[in-house]
Amino acid sequence: MSATAMRIALVGNPNCGKTALFNQLTGGRQKVANYAGVTVERKEGRFVAPSGRTLHILDLPGAYSFDATSPDEAITRDVCYGRYPGEEAPDLIVCVADATNLRLHLRFVLEVRRLGRPVVLALNMMDAARRRGIVIDVEQLSARLGVPVVETIAVKRGGAKALMERIDASVPSVTPTAIDEASVEQLHAEVRAILADTVKLPRDTVAVDDAIDRWVLHPVFGLAILATLMFFIFQAVFSWAQPVMDGIEAGIAALGSAVTGFLPADSALHSLLNDGVFAGLGAVLVFLPQILILFLFILVLEESGYLPRAAFLLDKMMFRVGLTGRAFIPLLSSFACAIPGIMATRSIQDPRDRLTTILVAPLMTCSARLPVYTLLIAAFIPDHTVWGVFNLQGIVLFTLYFAGIFSALLVAFVIKRLRKDKSEHALIMELPSYRLPNVRDIALGLWERALIFLKRVGGIILALTVLLWFLSSFPGPPPGATQPAIDYSIAGRLGRMLEYVFSPIGFNWQICVALVPGLAAREVAVAALGTVYAMSGSDDAVASQLGPLIAHQWSLATALSLLAWYVFAPQCMSTLAVIRRETNSWRNVAVAAGYLFGLAYLASLATYQIARALS
Amino acid sequence: MSTFELVQGAIIALVVAASAFVAFRKLLPKTSTRVMARVSASLNRQGRAGVVRSLGRKLQPAAATGSCGDGCGSCGSCGPAAPRTEAQPLHFKPRH
């Protein structure tokens, strides 16, 4: 064992605070939340201990047992057993246990101890345990387990100090023994005996949790609360964001005028900055407030411990359509982005259930769709109040999100029928204690979301917008041309060609052009529309007013058709790449892309034709 | 051609080339890494001028980055490529 590069593995049951401890020790900012299954792959970090030693630390997915039942648990087992390819067995295992739930967590501690490797037990959430009146005799527990025990509070600054000092002091010596297989019953009996000697527990559950759960988990009121909550979120996205959006829009317009003011108005450089950069990026950037409001609610719900309750409420319905209750968290993650959602399916044991969840995850409305939805809704749906309380635009946004959920359930049902699956998979899920969200964590989460969005705007979206501007500008119009220059460009010609395919669903050539770069990331389509329309017209005001422009030029049927397209279309190559990686099959990628494009076209066709017939 | 037009042409060419490079790196990470490694090896061959070899070394790609650079960002795991074993591909066995 090297003294300068000791390898430490953080293991424990799901949702015991391993990643929060990892962040405390390494200064990292890995995602944490108050539900099981957030970490599905191994994360590595390093930190310098007070003694000056560099320590490598591994954050492993939560596991209830080494008898792995899902791919994420298998990673933890293989690392601890020293079987993980390219990875030596850890020099020290820090077993993290939730001090409020030792009855469940100690069983895994015993399994880890039987590995015969140096182990330190971190009793996490000690603050919550004290609040609940749980008294733990730490010295006695350490003696009974035969491993050092330290108290930690991973969510508080300095809460891992004792652990760091213990790790830094020395590696506990152990007598190497062969891995001892013990039956589950034996382990449970040992846990009961240890608890009887070392822990005083006033009551098994928290009284407040029980009181809240009586309402939140009620089969009728619970669903009503969930629906109201979702509805309120989408109302807020529209109602709260507008003033900030107006400010950003005005700021971009002023910046555009200032930057391009000194350039000749008919120069290519002026066009690149004005029609490409400011029209394109500006059109996307204004949606930052709406994205942050959506994530504010998601982060609060994640931290509070409500989400597993929602999974419990919806389990029966999900089972009926062929999804396991464990699919809830991956599908919920897909509301942020389908990529972590698809990766989170590693917590699903059954490969067929996992594949079904992977195939329907792209139907969840990811945050990249939000700019497209809100652009079209703001342009075509009147800002009316319905029944004196609700905002009509918010209702439409809620409906679009609901359409995504409903179509995912429908597709899962079809897959269930096709595979003739009669098997049952019970949902066993831990319901964590409710927790008041930490303001600092929420602020950090929002800051990170803002950075991610701005990096996308300044990275791939800017790059594709510039390329689209180039393709929309060259070759230039021939002498004596009467149409706008874009009509003669590569992009213009491509758009006209695609129009043959998309005209039955109401898309004009400008939309067709925007769909192509939009394949890289959905919100690029908004930037592309901004650029294409700025290149098509002579009015500079177009740059900051894409919404009113499309409201004037498109029919309502076209707008509704485009909305329907974005509910289904797999307009994101990264999602398809992750499906390839997680399923190890191009066939599954073809199936996902094929059915999603097919559904998108059919839905848009129906929407467009019906809307035209009714108007 | 005026000086302004010359400078303008050079700036636009640079910006478009840089954008194409960024898009290539983000959308085709594996292919771009392969291509860059090949170009770098070719430039860094013995017998080449010092400047060319230095450029070759600069172009040498670092470890391939994760595939989530463009699509998500919320996975929090973008960075050095995970070992191939990190992903847990699906394996199906026939039912009995």
CB A54 within 8 A of CB A5: yes
pLDDT at A249: 83
Closest-CA residue of chain A to B25 = A460
In a domain, A578, yes or no: no
| A591 falls within a domain | no
Contact (Cβ atoms closer than 8 angstroms) between residue A473 and residue A300: no
Query: Could you report the per-residue pLDDT of A218-256, keeping only the tens digit for each?
Result: 989 999 999 898 888 878 887 788 888 888 888 988 898
pLDDT at A493: 92
- DSSP letter assigned to residue A543: G
Check residue A424 and give left, alpha or beta (phi > 0: left; psi -120 to 50: alpha). beta
* Cβ distance of A86 and B74 shorter than 8 Å: no
Task: Compute how many other C-beta atoms are within 10 angstroms of the C-beta atom of residue B61.
Answer: 16
Give mean pLDDT, residues A127-148: 89
Nearest CA in chain B to A345: B88
Q: What is the pLDDT of residue A137?
A: 92
Quick check: A350 and A319 in contact, CB under 8 A?
no
Q: Least CA distance to B83: which residue of chain A?
A: A86
Helix, coil or strand: residue A94: strand
Q: What is the mean pLDDT of residues A90-106?
A: 90
Domain contains A557: no
CA-based radius of gyration for chain A? 27
Is A574 in CB contact (< 8 Å) with chain B?
yes
Residues A216 and A212: their CA atoms lie apart, in Å, by: 6
**Does A420 have pLDDT greater than 60?**
yes
Nearest CA in chain B to A452: B73
Q: Where residue B85 falls among pLDDT bands split at 50, 70, 90? A: very low
The answer to whether residue A467 sits within a structural domain is no
Q: What is the mean pLDDT of residues A274-293?
A: 85
> What percentage of residues in chain A have a pLDDT greater than 90?
23
Contact A360, A412 (CB under 8 A): yes
**A475 DSSP assignment:** S
Q: What is the 8-class DSSP label of residue A489?
A: S
Question: Distance between alpha carbon A51 and the CA centroid of its chain, in Å?
Answer: 38
Residues listed for chain B: 96
Between helices B29-43 and B50-59, what is the axis angle to 10°?
160
Cβ–Cβ contact A463 with B under 8 A: yes
Whole-number pLDDT of residue A180: 58
pLDDT at A50: 82
Whether the CB-CB separation of A568 and A600 falls below 8 Å is answered with: yes
Dihedral of CA atoms A436, A439, A441, A445 in degrees, nearest 10, equals 110
> Vertex A287, ends A285 and A292: CA angle to 5°?
110
What is the distance between the alpha carbons of residues A104 and A102, in angstroms, rounded to a whole number? 5
Separation between Cα atoms, residue A594 and residue A588, nearest integer Å? 10
In a domain, A588, yes or no: no
What is the CB neighbour count within 10 angstroms for residue A450?
15
| Predicted confidence (pLDDT) at residue A346 exceeds the cutoff of 50 | yes
CATH code of residue A44: 3.40.50.300
Specify if A285 maps to a domain: no
Q: What is the mean pLDDT of residues A138-166?
A: 87
Q: How far apart (Å, rounded) are the C-alpha atoms in residues A161 and A158?
A: 5
**A38: nearest Cα among A58, A21, A62:** A62
**pLDDT for residue A427:** 67
Residue A530 has pLDDT above 60, yes or no: yes
Interface check for A456 against chain B (CB to CB < 8 A): the answer is: yes
- Mean predicted confidence (pLDDT) in A402-422: 87
Mean pLDDT, residues B79-83: 39
Least confident of A483-492, A505-514, B5-14: A483-492
Q: Quick one: how far is CA A172 from the chain centroid?
A: 39
Q: What residues make up the domain containing A159?
A: 5-204
pLDDT in tens, A37-54: 677 777 888 888 888 888
Residue A478 CB burial class (10 angstroms; 0-12, 13-18, ≥19): exposed
Quickly tell me which residue has 């599905």 as its tokens: A40
- Cα(A141)–Cα(A284) distance, rounded to whole angstroms? 56
In tens, the pLDDT along A363-405 reads 999 888 988 998 999 899 988 888 777 788 888 998 999 999 9
Answer whether A343 sits within 8 Å of B75, measured CB to CB.
yes
Tokens in use for A262? 């000194």
Is A162 in contact with A133 (CB distance < 8 Å)? no
pLDDT band at A540 (very low <50, low <70, confident <90, very high): very low
- Closest residue by Cα to residue A278 from A5, A543, A604: A543
**pLDDT of the residue at B73:** 42
Interchain contact, A582 vs B90, CB within 8 Å: yes
pLDDT tens profile A175-228: 555 555 667 788 888 888 998 889 888 877 778 889 999 999 998 999 999 989
* For residues A567-595, average pLDDT: 89
Distances (CA, A) of A303 to A32, A36, A60, A329, B47: 8, 12, 20, 14, 60
pLDDT, position B49: 87
Q: Which residue has the tokens 């809830």?
A: A328
Tell me the three state secondary structure of residue B64. Answer: coil
Please check whether residue A336 touches B, CB under 8 A: yes
Pairing of strands A199-200, A135-136: antiparallel
Q: Between residues B59 and A179, which one has the greater pLDDT? A: B59
User: In this complex, which of A264, A460, A466 lies closest to B70 when CB atoms are compared?
Assistant: A460
What pLDDT shows up at residue A175?
55
Q: Which residue has the tokens 């382990």?
A: A187
Strand spans (E) along A472-597:
none
Residue A112 and residue A80: Cα distance in Å, rounded?
8
Report in angstroms the alpha-carbon separations of A283 from A227, A530, A573.
31, 6, 22
Q: How far is CA A23 from CA A19, A254, A326, A514, in A?
A: 6, 41, 26, 40
Q: So what's the pLDDT on residue B72?
A: 44
Do residues A105 and A98 lie in contact, with contact meaning Cβ atoms separated by under 8 Å?
yes
- Tell me the average pLDDT across A487-494: 89
Classify residue A300: in a domain, yes or no: no
Q: Which two tokens stand for residue A386?
A: 């319905």
At A172 the pLDDT is: 67
Q: What is the pLDDT of residue A504?
A: 95
Domain count along chain A: 1
B28/A contact by beta carbon, under 8 A:
no
The pLDDT of residue B70 is: 40
Nearest CA to CA, how far is B31 from chain A (Å)? Answer: 13
Contact between A245 and A284 under an 8 Å Cβ cutoff? The reply is: no
Amino acid at A430: E
Measured from the Cβ of residue A496, the count of other Cβ atoms closer than 10 Å reads 14
User: A166-171 long-range CB contacts below 8 Å, 24 or more apart?
Assistant: A166/A120, A167/A6, A167/A8, A167/A49, A167/A55, A167/A92, A167/A94, A167/A120, A168/A49, A168/A50, A168/A51, A168/A53, A171/A1, A171/A6, A171/A91, A171/A92, A171/A118
Q: Which residues of chain B make contact with A456, given a CB cutoff of 8 A?
A: 70, 73
Tokens read off for A141: 């527990």
Q: How far apart are the first and last CA of chain B?
A: 77
Check residue A598 and give its pLDDT.
96
CB contact under 8 A, A577 and B77: no
In the prediction, which pLDDT does A171 show?
67
Task: Give mean pLDDT, residues A432-453.
Answer: 86
pLDDT, position A424 = 64
Q: Is the pLDDT of residue A305 over 80?
A: yes
Per CB-CB distance under 8 Å, the chain A contacts of B19 are 462-464, 466-467, 470
Judged by CB atoms closer than 8 Å, whether chains meet at B72 and A339 is answered as yes
pLDDT at A83: 86
Q: What is the mean pLDDT of chain A?
A: 85
Q: Closest CB to A520: pick one of B27, B68, B83.
A: B27
Find out whether B65 and B80 touch, Cβ atoms under 8 Å.
Answer: yes
The encoded tokens of residue A9 equal 């593995």
Query: Looking at A19-23, A95-99, A120-124, which range is the least confident one?
Result: A19-23
